[in-house]
Every structure is written in structure tokens, then in C-alpha cells.
Amino acid sequence: MSYIVLPMTSPSPTLQTSAESEHASSRRWWTLSVVALAQLMVVLDSTVVNIALPAAQADLGFSNGDRQWIITAYSLAFGSLLLLGGRLSDLIGRKRTFIIGLVGFAASSAIGGAAGTFGMLVAARAAQGAFGALLAPTALAVLTTTFTIPKERARAFGVFGAIAGAGGAVGLLLGGFLTEKLDWRWNLYINVIIAIVAVIGASIFVANMHRTGPRPKLDIPGTLIVSGALFSLVYGFSNAETDGWDSPLTWGFLAAAGVLLIAFVLWQRRAAHPLLPLSIVLDRNRGAAYSSVLIAGAGMFGIFLFVTYYLQASLGYSPIQTGLSFLPMIGMLVLAAQLSTNIFVPRFGPKIMVPFGMTLGVIGMIYLTHLDLNSTYAADVLPPLLILGFAMGSIMPASMQTATLGVDRHFAGVASAMVNTSQQVGGSIGTALLNTLAATAATDYIASHTPPSARVMAEAAVHSYATAYWWGAGFFAFGAVLAALLFRRRGQGLSLSHDPAPAATTDDAPEPVVAH
């Protein structure tokens, strides 16, 4: 009697029943819903907390100088731990990491919402950032390893990219509503509600991936080096925003970041179990995708921050009116994301679509420079917002999809973390540079228009926003050129229809069949 052990594989598409295929497809889309909900929670958080800051400051009584730490505590923890969070999802399992991230983020949000002191709120925000660094790259990695069929993958990344781009604007609307109608604390409590739904969904729909072969070890030296580098980088830019570019602390931390990043690259070349295999970022397509996400993140900051300032301070909009003003941009972004991933990217590839989106970003930013104290929403604000929405819908899905394409599934988490890291660093650069440039422009304008009346102060603010828009246009122009040069032409290297990895071995996979 002989035994033949058949390999553990999924049934071939020709032998699958239509019911099995339909069930698997349905499960994948439910997984997307859960992942999208988690991503929306992370993206929303920074914006809704920004809206809640004045009310929180009045309630807890902290100073203007301390106010920045509510934002900085989150961004420091989030930015410095992203690569570690992504790698942990590769090592301990994505479903487990995803649920841990959701529970931790919700608990931290609840503590922050109940905070009675400034110190407690800052600690809660730092904890949110740490669990967010675990959750955000894991969500993208789950998406990457769940959707391997090219057509479904394109649709899934279209939804995910739309959420990544539109979440900030949705946060403005939600934050304004919660602050005005309820209480600033609900800007944090809302995460608990979202997380409970996402945990239930993840428990049911997100599949476990079983590793074959020995479990690799965590690169502890590499983790410490890159975490220190990212902490120094984010802190350096945050300090530039508050203390200026002439601060020794700013340049000290930025210099330390540069040294540590060089040390990290050198260590990754010789590490037995590298945290971030250099082949992931050295591939031209993926390198172009990470660069595009970083540049778009820096440019987009000017839209949300300075348009918000303009609508509220210059035109007198309420927080809710400001949030509603961004809704058409969100609608255009979602439309563009779906058109891009389902029609344009498969036909033209990222080499065409990303520079196209960047060029639209330039046009939208230049349009915004013409705003003044007499501008109207319909004629002067709405058109550039629609253009910029289409721009981000063309850039983000194509870049995110390309950034994780072709990566070994055992490194999908850390490759996904690089997307979030690029976006976070881009936001930090945009925050520091654009705020500094805008503040300088406002000061120069007031100095050249004496005496500084209320009218002059208002005009100085609008002038400073225009300066930020011009620099934002410059970011997008640089991104257009860089993307056109770096992305490969269709048919060269990785293709967007390439399956990134073999299908995962999950709890739903059939057991080995033993035949006599």
C-alpha cells in the first residue's frame, strides 16, 4: 500500500464551484470594508483632533506653547514606529496585529477623551500614535495579501487610496460637527465606536496567514536605529514649525536623522534578518511610488490647513461650514480614484497617471493663489478644490498599488509601512516648510504696509496663504517631473497586473489530501 500526499493548494478556478468562488469573493470585499474602516479611523484622527484643540485648550487650561504637543506627541510616536509596526505584522500575523492595533487605538482614544489633565491627554495621544503605527501598515498589508486578482486588486486599492486622500477632509466635517453639537471629547470617543465595529469585522472576515518554514527574527539593531532616525526627523521638522529654522535644536535633530538613516542603510546591507530589505525601496517603480506619496503628502497639507484657515478666518465660515466646503473635493477624489484604478492605470500605467495627477495639483494650487478677501466659494474656492480632488484621486491609488506590488508576502507589512512613513514624513515636511514660509510672508507684508490696521492684518493672512499655495504648486511640479523620470514604461519591470505573491495559506485553505 502506498500513499501519495497531495500538496496543500486552493482548488483550481476551473474546479471551483460558483458558490465557493462567490463566497471567497464576498469575504474579500467584507475584508476591504473592515480595512477601510480602520484606515479611515487613523486618517480621521489627526484632523478631528485639530478641530477640537481650541475647545480642549479652554477646558483643560494649557498654554498656546503646550498646545502643539497634542499633535506632536501623536506624530512622533506614529512616525518613528511605523516600520517596526509593519514588520511586527509580518512576524506575529496580520490578523492578530490588526486586532491588537484596533483595541490599543480605541483604549488610548478613550483615555484621551476622559483626560482631566494636559499630561494625561498628551500621554494618550502618544499611545494612539504607537498603536496607529501598528494598525496603519497592517491594514495596507492585509489588503495587499488579500487581493491578488488584478481586477479586484485595482478596485480595492481605488477605495483604499480614496480613503487615504479624503480622510482629512471628512475629519474636518466630523470634527466640526462633534465639537459644535456635542463636546470636544467626542472627537476621541468616536474612535472607540469605529474600533468596536472593526474588531468584530476583523474577527469574522480577516483570514489568518500561516507561515511555512522557520520564523525569522526581528532586526533589533535596525529597529532601534531607524526608529531613532524617524523620531529625529519628525521632531526636527516639528521644532522648525514652532521655534524656527534658526533653532539649534531643529538642525541638531535633522542632522542626527541624516546620520542615523545612513547607519540604517549600512546595517541593512549586512543584517541577517533585515527590517527593511533594500531591494524593496531600490526598485525603480516602488521608489517612485514612495516618493510620489511623500511629495503629494507635503503638497496636500497646504490644501487642508491653509484653505481651512482661509474659510474660517477670512470668510468667517463655521467649522461645520468649512467641513461641508470640502465635500465636493471628496466626491471628486473618490470618482477619480475609481476611474484611475479601473480604467486609466490598467491602460496607461503609473508613469502617465501619477505625473498627470501631479500636474493637476500644480494647476489647482496656482488657482488657489488668486483668492482674496472678496472671493466667493462657488466661483473661486470650489473649482480648485475639484481639480485637487481629481489630482489626489489620480496620484494616491496608483502610487499605493505600485508601492506594494511584487513584494514577497513575508515583507508585505514593512513595504506597506513605507507608504505610511512616506506620507507621514511628507506631512511633517509640509507642516514645517509651508507654515514657516507663510509666517515669513505675513510678517514681510505687514512690515511693508504700515500702519498695521485690521484690514492689513487680514490681507497679510491671505497673502501668506498664497505663498504656501505657490510652494505647494512647486512640490507638485517637482513630483510630476520625478514620477515621469522614475516610473518604468508599461511592459518594463513590474506590471500592475502582476500577482504580488502566491495565495496565502489561511484558515480557509483545505487540509492536505492523502490518497491511497
Domain definitions of the chain by residue range: 24-206, 219-274, 279-492
Q: Is residue 13 classed as helix, strand or coil in its secondary structure?
A: coil
C-alpha cell at 81: 514606529
pLDDT of residue 497: 38
Bridge partners (DSSP) of residue 298 are none
Bridge partners (DSSP) of residue 5 are 514
Amino acid 215 reads R
Tracing cell 492684518 back to the chain, one arrives at 457
Identify the CA nearest to 102 among candidates 207, 11, 201.
201
C-alpha 300/C-alpha 279 separation (Å) is: 29
Q: What are the phi and psi torsion angles at 5 (to 5°)?
A: -90, 115
pLDDT of residue 324: 83
**Same fold? 24-206, 279-492:** yes
pLDDT tens sequence for the chain (516 residues)? 443 433 334 444 444 455 555 556 667 778 888 888 887 788 777 677 777 777 787 888 876 656 667 877 887 888 788 778 878 877 787 788 889 999 999 999 999 988 888 889 989 999 998 998 888 888 877 877 777 777 777 777 777 766 765 666 677 677 777 877 788 888 888 889 989 998 998 888 877 665 555 566 778 888 889 889 888 888 888 787 777 778 888 899 999 999 999 999 999 888 888 878 888 888 888 889 999 999 998 887 767 778 888 988 889 887 778 778 888 888 898 888 888 878 888 888 889 999 999 999 999 999 999 999 999 999 999 999 999 999 988 998 888 888 877 777 677 777 777 887 888 788 777 877 888 888 888 888 988 887 778 888 889 989 999 999 999 999 999 999 999 999 887 654 444 434 444 434 333 333 333 333
pLDDT of residue 510: 33
pLDDT of residue 397: 80
pLDDT of residue 503: 39
Torsion of CA 431, 45, 168, 467, to 10 degrees: -20
pTM summary value: 0.75
**Cβ(322)–Cβ(51) under 8 Å?**
no
C-alpha 294/C-alpha 495 separation (Å) is: 22
C-alpha 228/C-alpha 260 separation (Å) is: 7
pLDDT of residue 390: 93
C-alpha cell at 358: 501631479
pLDDT of residue 496: 41
Bridge partners (DSSP) of residue 514 are 5
- Which helix (H) or strand (E) segment holds residue 4: the answer is strand 4-5
Architecture per CATH, 279-492: Up-down Bundle (1.20)
Identify the CA nearest to 157 among candidates 139, 173, 144, 175.
144
CATH of domain 24-206: 1.20.1250.20
User: What phi-psi label fits residue 244: left (phi over 0), alpha (psi between -120 and 50 degrees) or beta?
Assistant: left
Half-sphere exposure of 511 (CA within 13 A, CB side): 2
